[in-house]
């Protein structure tokens, strides 16, 4: 197996060319090689790997990654190198979400490993301190312990220096400004909330209209700081292509970043439908 390598310049040029031709960028997360193959064949520009993906494929919600039941960076490094990147033809690039607040690892060594196995994109989510509301006790306890957004920004800056394409993903407008000013990422994706739908999806209280509105508020902040930043949409009501189209039609986004919407939810639907048909076949009458 020889994994195809991509350069920062090559991938960025391809993305901008796609946008100019009127086609949106498609970024999709997954936890298995089979889904990665399908996503690449479907036309994904980036396949995203992150620590919660394995848990999601084991039937748990993505947010189960928050319990201390796995080594986040070890999980994503192994999953990326062994399961995902080796299953691809190289038509899609690989974007990995790094736990920048890992107290046991030098981020340079984590990024160096990912670079060696063929990853070209880096983000700071999955997990991120941004998931926690700032007025919550957990946020205050974690930041007091040194788990901060600043660590994530510093990791993104290092990734950019090492030649990666960087992706900033804030959860609120305050973080949007801080990430953009601090890291100046190549791409910006507002995390509008956990994706609705399916067996374990959390029903975030946002309609597609509200998802688009909140996303565009964050986009305006990003564009003011870096006018050439690539803009993506993710989460909340973005459950199907229909919602994805609505958001692209009502925001300045250049594309979408999917997770459960193109992995967990369609797998659940397909297996339930097909298995249900098998469960209802009949025996030959005697």
pTM > 0.95? no
Residue at 286 is within a domain = no
Nearest Cα neighbor of 214 from 274, 158, 154, 170 is 170
Q: Is residue 138 a part of any domain in this protein?
A: yes
With respect to residue 210, please indicate whether it lies within any of the assigned structural domains: yes
> CA torsion, points 171, 244, 205, 216, in degrees to nearest 10?
50
**Inside any domain, residue 281:** no
CB 31 within 8 A of CB 57: yes
Query: Going residue by residue through the chain (286 aa), what tens digit of pLDDT does each one get?
Result: 789 999 999 999 999 999 999 999 999 999 999 999 999 999 999 999 988 776 776 676 666 666 666 788 999 999 999 999 999 999 999 999 999 999 999 999 999 999 999 999 999 997 899 989 999 999 999 999 999 999 999 999 999 999 999 999 999 999 999 999 999 999 999 999 877 666 665 666 789 999 999 999 999 999 999 999 999 999 888 989 999 999 999 999 999 999 989 998 899 899 999 999 999 999 988 7
Looking at the structure of the chain, the number of domains it has is 1
Tokens 């796995």 map to which residue? 70
- Give the side-chain half-sphere CA count within 13 A for 191: 23
Kindly state whether residue 283 falls inside one of the protein's structural domains. no
| Residue 280 belongs to some domain of the structure | no
Residue 218 in domain: yes
Backbone angles phi, psi at 260, to 5 degrees: -60, -30
Quick check: 78 and 106 in contact, CB under 8 A?
no
Q: Are strands 46-49 and 93-97 parallel, antiparallel or unpaired?
A: parallel
Per DSSP, 89 falls in state -
Q: 68 by DSSP, 3-state: which? A: coil
Domain range for 168 is: 8-275
**Which CATH number belongs to the domain containing residue 160 in this structure?**
3.20.20.70
How confident is the model at residue 57, as a pLDDT? 67
Residue 209 lies in a domain: yes
- Identify the burial level of 105 via C-beta atoms within 10 angstroms of its C-beta, where 0-12 means exposed, 13-18 middle and 19 or more buried: middle
């Amino acid at each position: 197996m020889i994994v195809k390598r991509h350069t920062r310049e090559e991938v960025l040029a391809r993305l901008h060319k796609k946008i100019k031709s009127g086609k949106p960028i498609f970024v999709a997360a997954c936890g298995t090689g089979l889904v990665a193959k399908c996503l690449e064949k479907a036309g994904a520009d980036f396949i995203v790997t992150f620590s919660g993906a394995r848990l999601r494929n084991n039937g748990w919600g993505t947010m189960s990654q928050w319990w201390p039941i796995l080594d986040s960076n070890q999980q994503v490094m192994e999953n990326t190198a062994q399961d995902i990147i080796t299953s691809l033809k190289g038509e899609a690039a690989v974007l990995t979400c790094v736990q920048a607040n890992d107290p046991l690892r030098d981020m340079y060594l984590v990024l160096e490993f990912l670079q060696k196995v063929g990853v070209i994109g880096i983000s700071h989510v999955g997990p991120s301190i941004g998931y926690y509301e700032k007025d919550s006790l957990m946020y205050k306890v974690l930041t007091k312990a040194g788990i901060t957004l600043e660590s994530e920004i510093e990791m993104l800056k290092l990734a950019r220096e090492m030649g990666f394409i960087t992706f900033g993903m804030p959860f609120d407008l305050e973080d949007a400004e801080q990430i953009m000013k601090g890291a100046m990422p190549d791409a910006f994706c507002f995390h509008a909330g956990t994706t609705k739908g399916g067996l374990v999806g959390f029903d975030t209280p946002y309609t597609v209209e509200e998802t688009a509105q909140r996303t565009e508020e964050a986009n305006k902040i990003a564009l003011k700081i870096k006018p050439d930043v690539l803009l993506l949409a993710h989460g909340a009501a973005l459950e199907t292509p229909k919602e994805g189209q609505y958001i692209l039609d009502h925001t300045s986004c250049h594309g979408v970043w999917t997770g459960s919407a193109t992995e967990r939810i369609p797998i659940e639907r397909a297996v339930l439908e097909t298995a249900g048909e098998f469960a209802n076949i009949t025996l030959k009458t005697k």
